[in-house]
Amino acid sequence: MTNVKSTTIGYPYIGENREWKRTIERFWKNDLTETELEQQLKQQRIHNLLKQEKLGIDQVTVGDFTQYDRVLDLAFMFNIIPNRYKTLEQSPSLKTYYAMARGSQETVACEMTKWFNTNYHYIVPEYTGEKLSLQNNTLLSLFNEAKEVLKNTPKPTLIGPFTFSKITKGYNEQQFAAYLVQLLPLYEEVIQQLVDAGAEWIQIEEPLLTQELSDEDLKLVQVIYKQLAENVPQAKIMLTTYFEGIPQYEQIVQLPVAGIGLDFVHGFKENSQSINQFGFPNDKVLAVGVINGRDIWTSNLKEVSQQIDAILQLVQPKELWIQPSCSLQHTPVTTASETELFDVLKNALAFADEKLEEIQQITNYIKEGKWTNPQVIQDNLTNLQNLANHVSRNNEEVKNELNALTEADTKRGVPFETRLEVQQKLLQLPSFPTTTIGSFPQSAVVKKTRSDWRKGDLSNEQYEKFLEEETLRWVKIQEELELDVLVHGEFERTDMVEYFGEKLKGFAFTKKAWVVSYGSRCVKPPVIYGDVQWVEPMTVKETAFTQQHTKHWVKGMLTGPVTILNWSFVRDDLSREKVTNQIALALRKEIEALEAAGIRIIQVDEPALREGLPLRKKNHSDYLRWATDAFKISTSTVKDDTQIHTHMCYCEFNDFIDPIISLDADVISLETSRSHGELTHSLKENPYPYGIGLGVYDIHSPRVPSVEEMATILEESLVTIPVQRFWVNPDCGLKTRGETETVAALKNMVQATKNLRNAQLS
């Protein structure tokens, strides 16, 4: 019988009550010294390790904890620090680390983008020709720390050299070889030091291996792992993949590593076929990712155990590890705090801790050939069936609306050129109209007032009066800044998805189901557990109120159907296409209600459109078809003179222009500040035929860019955007920023725009 053990790829580092987030942010505010920061983070790390061990995990992973972002950790450790940060201090410390992550008054932050097709953003490594070196083996420190408190030897993990080198920017094709020649010895040094310290296994994460590799890249992977095997022969490497199956399975499983980790959730079909066709080396350990690390639903334990049994009928690996499909950082920590969910739903949920319990139960079953507690299996099946039969999943009205959709529901009445003419006639906006993306700073007073109202300490009337006063205060600020198109500020909203989910049928909300979006920014995605249905207007009251108190046009602000889908935990019994169309039909009714209330500019944000893109190119077209159709189902019924805006941020657009065009939105606003003009260059190659606003400053950084800095972006953009379709805006919403810096930055933005207008007239 194959030896079986339980393990993890990674565990959420934020803590049950977001202790990690609060610690980091207190340090940023200078409320903690660096020593105090390290002490508190160490306590949190050890708590996480001991909890996993207590839940029965045989081999706990270390290196999944970070001070901001794991990709940034690796770049910083290898001295991949762009030259613009070298003037901050003589020897790079946390000051430089956080400047790279967040920017500073002296310099802009590094670029940030999505981690594959998840909702997590990582800091993009940026190589500017510096000499690479191992500054400090932080992974070794974490390993030694964990070894002192755990019964079994922990497993260090790090992102692999192939994936890391490919997501690094800054070098050209001719420089890549020189970059890799410097990089690989550093990996060898890290791994050797871990082996010397007693690491029995080292997990190397190579999610990029789940994409279709060119012959050249496949050869590169083979060279990398041959070199690692030759130069650190004592290391037992577990090469872990996730998010998909492995296209070049036959070649990858023959790499000179001691074990291979495969995703049997998102890559189940492909990896199963590969194992059936090519087998698996019996001298290697096989790690099977059988518990979904990206959702919140209870696994069908009987079904999962049968899948593992089927694998073991085909292959006899040296050892079998049972683990989640990917790091559990994409799931909340525990359901223990979710006391307000109705039983049918709560009993069908499994967060990180519950998923580890599932792994432990399945591991014991595979070891013993029977369930330790048969009642667990019966309860598991009952819980799944109860949710499937719940009335929320059987809404005939929603089903009929879906069935009635036709191709006509995805088309605007007239072409953009015709719409633009009637919109300009109605709106009478100046050249280069200025606006914001939607939200304004949510001060401590805003958050406390909303919290008091939710707890019942403030009446509805008192709360609405506060919202009106705050809205009017910001209307005045916007008018004084001389912005052209105003927003109401979204002071009633905690989150751009949660707010809408609270007002639609089919959504549930948790108390502490937080996950990290980027840095210390945590989100609490709603749970789409039933059929989605519009009930009553969700945004009309606030938007119409604002419009009544200004002579400027006010934008209605909505989150798009694909973003609501991708930023929620989604039911797994219905296709994502059908769920998205349910949301789209609900949003259509809201847009029609805004239009009926006299709102003529409506923004439907889709920042998550690209992140839902399947990793395989062959699957892109089907996703893009239904994703863009859903946006158009939401927006297609408006009048010609109603201007539809959309917004996207932190996304590689070079190969994504066509889907954006197919949305048929009248105006799109895009991030460009962190990408340092790359999008402007891309638009030269692929012109965008609608209205467009390139974000002229980075709202994720506290720094206030100068007029000259923003003017440079505007002037460079003139090459690619015609004057009559050119909008000016920040690159994202301003909710997380402070009021003083927000006003100062917008003041500079408006001044830069005025300068541009004057230059055009002269």
CA dist 402 and 575 (Å) reads 13
Average pLDDT, stretch 493-507? 92
Answer yes or no: is pLDDT of 677 > 70. Answer: no
CA dist 209 and 211 (Å) reads 5
Task: Label residue 34 by pLDDT band (50, 70, 90).
Answer: very high
The answer to whether the CB of 631 falls within 8 A of the CB of 604 is yes
pTM, to two decimals:
0.89
Of 221-235, 375-389, 416-430, 728-742, give the lowest mean pLDDT range: 728-742
**Residue 84: per-residue pLDDT:** 92
Average pLDDT, stretch 559-569? 95
Average pLDDT, stretch 430-449? 94
List residues forming the annotated binding site. 18-21, 114, 119, 437-439, 490, 521-522, 567, 605, 611, 647, 649, 671, 732
Q: What is the pLDDT of residues 70-91, one digit of tens each?
A: 999 999 999 999 999 988 888 8
Answer yes or no: is pLDDT of 651 > 90. Answer: no
CA dist 27 and 22 (Å) reads 9
3-state SS class at 666: coil
Q: What is the pLDDT of residues 209-265, one digit of tens each?
A: 999 999 999 999 999 999 999 999 999 999 999 999 999 999 999 999 999 999 999
Task: Label residue 696 by pLDDT band (50, 70, 90).
Answer: confident
Answer yes or no: is pLDDT of 697 > 80. Answer: yes
* Complete DSSP assignment for 436-490: --SB----HHHHHHHHHHHHTSS-HHHHHHHHHHHHHHHHHHHHHHT-SEE--B-
**Residue 351: per-residue pLDDT:** 98
Task: Label residue 656 by pLDDT band (50, 70, 90).
Answer: confident
Question: Which residues neighbour 674 within 8 Å (Cβ) at sequence distance 6 or greater?
Answer: 108, 109, 110, 111, 112, 650, 698, 700, 731
Q: Which two tokens stand for residue 692?
A: 């467009």
Helix H or strand E encompassing 43: helix 34-54
The answer to whether the CB of 693 falls within 8 A of the CB of 673 is no
Question: Which residues neighbour 141 within 8 Å (Cβ) at sequence distance 6 or greater?
Answer: none
Average pLDDT, stretch 183-201? 98
CA dist 338 and 526 (Å) reads 13
Task: Label residue 673 by pLDDT band (50, 70, 90).
Answer: low
Average pLDDT, stretch 127-155? 95
Question: Which residues neighbour 461 within 8 Å (Cβ) at sequence distance 6 or greater?
Answer: none
Residue with tokens 């409506």: 602
* Complete DSSP assignment for 398-434: HHHHHHT--GGGG--SS-HHHHHHHHHHHH-PPSS-B
Residue with tokens 């999962």: 304
**CATH architecture entry for 421-503+540-558+591-761:** Alpha-Beta Barrel (3.20)
Of 112-121, 276-285, 559-568, give the lowest mean pLDDT range: 112-121
**Residue 678: per-residue pLDDT:** 67
List residues forming the annotated binding site for L-homocysteine. 437-439, 490, 605
Q: Residue 587: exposed, middle, or buried by beta-carbon count in 10 A (0-12, 13-18, 19+)?
A: buried
Q: Residue 398: which of 489, 502, 505 has the closest Cα?
A: 505
CA dist 184 and 196 (Å) reads 18
**Residue 702: per-residue pLDDT:** 81
**Residue 701: per-residue pLDDT:** 78
**Residue 698: per-residue pLDDT:** 81
Q: What is the pLDDT of residues 294-343, one digit of tens each?
A: 999 999 999 999 999 999 999 999 999 999 999 999 999 999 999 999 99
Question: Percentage of the chain with pLDDT > 90?
Answer: 83
- Tell me the pLDDT of the chain averaged across its residues: 94
**Residue 19: per-residue pLDDT:** 98
Answer yes or no: is pLDDT of 675 > 80. Answer: no
Answer yes or no: is pLDDT of 274 > 80. Answer: yes
CA dist 176 and 523 (Å) reads 36
Q: Residue 632: which of 610, 593, 664 has the closest Cα?
A: 664
Residue by residue, what is the 3-state secondary structure of 676-709? CCHHHHHHHHCCCCCEEEEECCCCCCCCCCCHHH
The answer to whether the CB of 259 falls within 8 A of the CB of 289 is no
CA dist 473 and 546 (Å) reads 11
At residue 59, what are phi and psi to the nearest 5 degrees? -130, 105
3-state SS class at 650: coil
Of 307-311, 515-519, 588-592, 687-691, give the lowest mean pLDDT range: 687-691
List residues forming the annotated binding site for 5-methyltetrahydropteroyltri-L-glutamate. 18-21, 114, 119, 521-522, 567, 611
Q: Which two tokens stand for residue 189?
A: 């040094």
Answer yes or no: is pLDDT of 497 > 70. Answer: yes
Number of Cβ atoms within 10 Å of the Cβ of 570: 21
Task: Label residue 139 by pLDDT band (50, 70, 90).
Answer: very high
Query: Which residues are catalytically annotated?
Result: 700
CA dist 42 and 736 (Å) reads 27
List residues forming the annotated binding site for Zn(2+). 647, 649, 671, 732
Q: Domain-by-domain residue ranges, the chain?
A: 3-389, 421-503+540-558+591-761
Answer yes or no: is pLDDT of 761 > 80. Answer: no
C-alpha to C-alpha distances, 333 to 10, 19, 20, 37, 553, nearest whole angstrom: 12, 12, 12, 22, 43
C-alpha to C-alpha distances, 302 to 51, 305, 358, 360, 379, nearest whole angstrom: 26, 5, 11, 14, 11
* Complete DSSP assignment for 355-367: HHHHHHHHHHHHH
Sheet containing strand 527-534, strands side by side: 504-508, 527-534, 569-570
Average pLDDT, stretch 714-727? 88
HSE of 393, CA atoms in CB hemisphere, 13 A: 17
Q: Residue 536: exposed, middle, or buried by beta-carbon count in 10 A (0-12, 13-18, 19+)?
A: exposed
Helix H or strand E encompassing 270: helix 268-278
Rg (CA), the chain: 26
Average pLDDT, stretch 10-30? 97
**Residue 469: per-residue pLDDT:** 96
Per CATH, domain 3-389 is 3.20.20.210: yes
Instruction: Count the helices and strands in the chain (H runs, E runs).
Output: 27, 22
Supply angle C-alpha 367, 369, 372, rounded to 5: 85
Answer yes or no: is pLDDT of 1 > 60. Answer: no
**Residue 699: per-residue pLDDT:** 82
Average pLDDT, stretch 37-48? 98
Could you check whether 3-389 and 421-503+540-558+591-761 share the same CATH topology?
yes
Question: Residue 592: what residue type?
Answer: E
Task: Label residue 686 by pLDDT band (50, 70, 90).
Answer: confident
Question: Between 731 and 652, whose confidence is greater?
Answer: 731
